[in-house]
Amino acid sequence: MTSSLRPVALAVRTPPKPLDEGRRTVTMRVVMGIFVVVPFLALLAAVPVAWGRGLSWTDAAIALVAYTVTGLGVSIGLHRYLTHGAFTATRWLRVALALAGGLAVEGSPTQWVADHRRHHQFSDREGDPHSPWRYGANIRGLARGMAYAHIGWMFGRNLTNRRRFAPDLLADRDIQRLERMWLPVVSLALPALAGGLLTWSLYGAVTAFFWGGLVRVAVLHHVTWSINSVCHVIGERPFRSRDRATNFWPLAILSFGESWHNSHHAEPGCARHGVLRGQFDSAARVIWCFERLGWARGGPASGRAGVGAGRRRGGPAPGRGGVRARGSPGREPGRRPGRRSPRPRRPAGRSSCAG
């Protein structure tokens, strides 16, 4: 009598992918240094240049438009949409938001998202790529840590593993096609082209390149980086979170609402960061407009409960569950489905994702 044996499947736990996927080459760090230092030098020269009547209304308009487009690209496109999937969008809007974020000259969209998802998974703990508390809580350690969180971490040797933290974007053909377009060069060239065409002069192209290109990039850089440094040390913490993220109101306008960082860390999946009364959040209002136009859904206009209101009522956490459109960003690593966000430390007005 012959018996057949069926192999027994053993449950083998696959070890997690490493946090880093490689090292930055010398060439990568030199190029990064150029795109960081040169705009900063232009920013230092901005005041004397403007004082000498080197800033025209045309230059100011070009710089303002470029700052708004790229700043919203970071806040809405790279952060709230691609990183956290706080709302869903049509394909063309998805590509447009990724393009606007890429034009901010803050790295490729995939790497930006990978770094930020890793930051949320290990926020202010070992593994966080840019915590200002990494060197201790004394004055010397904190000063060193803030400098590292603001700019120093970008020149580190290790690269965050995109296959672990952003596999969805690596598999997205539209996003990867965008990243082959030399977006930093395009970002600096477009203001110069606009200035030259509007003034029909080489001088107009040069001044627009200075203000709408270099100075605009530098201002947005340091506003974004201040969220990593200042908004984990200075400010208020009306909501409980697992880290030391704070709300810092002076940066609310320039950051398009990103500086309501404690609110964001209390509920990363909420498309609205300024959830308390009087907290200006222009990015959330733009998302609301996208929803009204039928280009997006699941954001502020949906009326989902937010950081405080939903928790007090015992409702489901916003940004978790529900139907997500095909091709929209998935849940970032480290977030547990159905997990409730912490309650606010104290009642502080109505807290909601609703517009």
pLDDT tens track for 252-310: 999 999 999 999 999 999 999 999 999 999 999 999 999 999 999 987 765 554 554 33
In a domain, 342, yes or no: no
Convert the pLDDT of each residue in 221-235 to its tens digit. 999 999 999 999 999
The pair of three-digit structure tokens given for residue 2, joined into one six-digit string: 């012959």
In a domain, 9, yes or no: no
In a domain, 334, yes or no: no
Q: Which of these, 296, 234, 339, lies nearest to 80 by C-alpha position?
A: 296
- In this prediction, residue 157 carries a pLDDT of 72
- pLDDT above 50: residue 343: no
In a domain, 296, yes or no: yes
| CA 233-115-189 angle, 5° bins | 100
Provide the greatest CA pair distance for the chain: 101
In a domain, 333, yes or no: no
Convert the pLDDT of each residue in 21-40 to its tens digit. 777 777 777 887 888 888 88
The tally of domains found in the chain comes to: 1
In a domain, 198, yes or no: yes
In a domain, 323, yes or no: no
- Residues of the domain holding 50: 31-313
* End-to-end CA, the chain: 74
Please report the sign of the dihedral spanned by the C-alpha atoms of residue 342, residue 348, residue 350, residue 355. Answer: negative
Looking at the whole model, is its pTM more than 0.75? yes
In a domain, 304, yes or no: yes
| CA 123-127-128 angle, 5° bins | 35
